[in-house]
């Protein structure tokens, strides 16, 4: 029997933000079992954590179909649970398989600040075959990082109204693996037309079983420094404009590191029998 938490991340309200499952383990489970649990949960991510000898935690993330290299909202959900269950904790250190170390702290009002490595996108001169058709709306510029194609639009309205052809978009994302060894997701972004936010985005990951991700913390390690350069501002507030929606507070700390911060809300505590 395992204890599992379900948390809405990057929101202060239930049924908003992005839901993640969190399971804290004494010992790692077989990878196929973790994948099956994530499939059964059918959330965009299920996070598994195991304490290291130095009181830090190793974290791994699974979508319903794959283990992923980095997930921001499930990291936020995991930190929220660890702070909630261990009230003496003031800060956390997470280790990961692929993206280095995370340093996390919680403010008195519940805001959780996560320090991540910056993953700045670079200009992509050659547009992947089928991308324009899959998105259906011409864009201003195209960039890429290890995680995703970053598609820049001029106006927030274009981001809000876009309706991708997900079957064609999945093909584009899978074709990236043939070219450089990794599938790609797609994020679309533009300056916000609302005063409380600096920029908005939407995120599509059909190649890993997630058509539209409600809130994607990881991609803001690319979006926030990108828009920080455009606006010449180190601190930005972002809104991910999915149906559920979520708010991310972003701060550049150095040329290599940044904070992505947000709130979270506990939805469910459950027991699973495996």
Q: How many helices (H) and strands (E) does the chain have?
A: 6, 18
Minimal CA–CA distance to 226: which of 76, 123, 127?
123
CA distance linking residue 126 with residue 80, whole number of Å: 41
Question: How far is CA 207 from its chain centroid?
Answer: 15
Helices (H), 208-259: 220-231
- Which helix (H) or strand (E) element contains residue 40? helix 31-41
Marked catalytic residue, from 27, 31, 40, 45: 45
Residue 17: DSSP 8-state: S
196 is known as an active-site residue: no
The answer to whether the CB of 75 falls within 8 A of the CB of 68 is no
Question: Phi first, then psi: what are they for 194, rounded to 5°?
Answer: -115, 140
Tell me the two tokens of residue 14: 């239930």
| Beta-ladder partners of 46 | 21, 62
Helices (H), 143-274: 156-161, 166-180, 220-231
| Beta-ladder partners of 239 | 200, 247
CA distance linking residue 151 with residue 42, whole number of Å: 27
Place of tokens 């598994």: 48
Angle at 173 between CA 168 and CA 176, to 5 degrees: 130
Catalytic residues: 45
């Amino acid at each position: 029997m395992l204890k599992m938490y379900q948390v809405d991340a990057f929101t202060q309200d239930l049924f908003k933000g992005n839901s993640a499952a969190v399971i804290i383990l004494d010992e790692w489970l077989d990878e196929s079992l973790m994948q099956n649990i994530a499939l059964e949960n059918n959330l965009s991510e299920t996070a598994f954590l195991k304490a290291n000898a130095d009181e830090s935690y190793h974290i791994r993330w699974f979508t319903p179909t794959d283990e992923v290299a980095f997930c921001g909202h499930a990291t936020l959900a995991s930190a929220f649970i660890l702070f909630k269950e261990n009230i003496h904790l003031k800060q956390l250190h997470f280790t990961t398989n692929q993206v280095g170390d995370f340093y996390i702290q919680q403010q008195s009002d519940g805001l959780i600040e996560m320090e991540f490595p910056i993953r700045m996108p670079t200009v992509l001169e050659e547009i992947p075959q089928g991308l324009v058709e899959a998105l259906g709306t011409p864009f201003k510029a195209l960039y890429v990082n290890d995680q995703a194609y970053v598609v820049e639009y001029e106006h927030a309205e274009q981001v809000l109204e876009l309706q991708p052809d997900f079957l064609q978009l999945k093909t584009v994302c899978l074709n990236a693996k043939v070219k450089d060894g990794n599938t790609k997701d797609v994020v679309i972004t533009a300056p916000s037309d609302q005063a409380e936010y600096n920029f908005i985005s939407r995120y599509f990951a059909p190649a890993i079983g997630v058509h539209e991700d409600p809130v994607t913390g990881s991609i803001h390690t690319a979006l926030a420094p990108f828009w920080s350069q455009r606006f010449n501002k180190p601190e930005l507030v972002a809104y991910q404009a999915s149906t559920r929606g979520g708010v991310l507070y972003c701060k550049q700390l150095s040329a290599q590191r940044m904070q992505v911060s947000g709130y979270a809300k506990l939805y469910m505590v459950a027991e699973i029998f495996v």
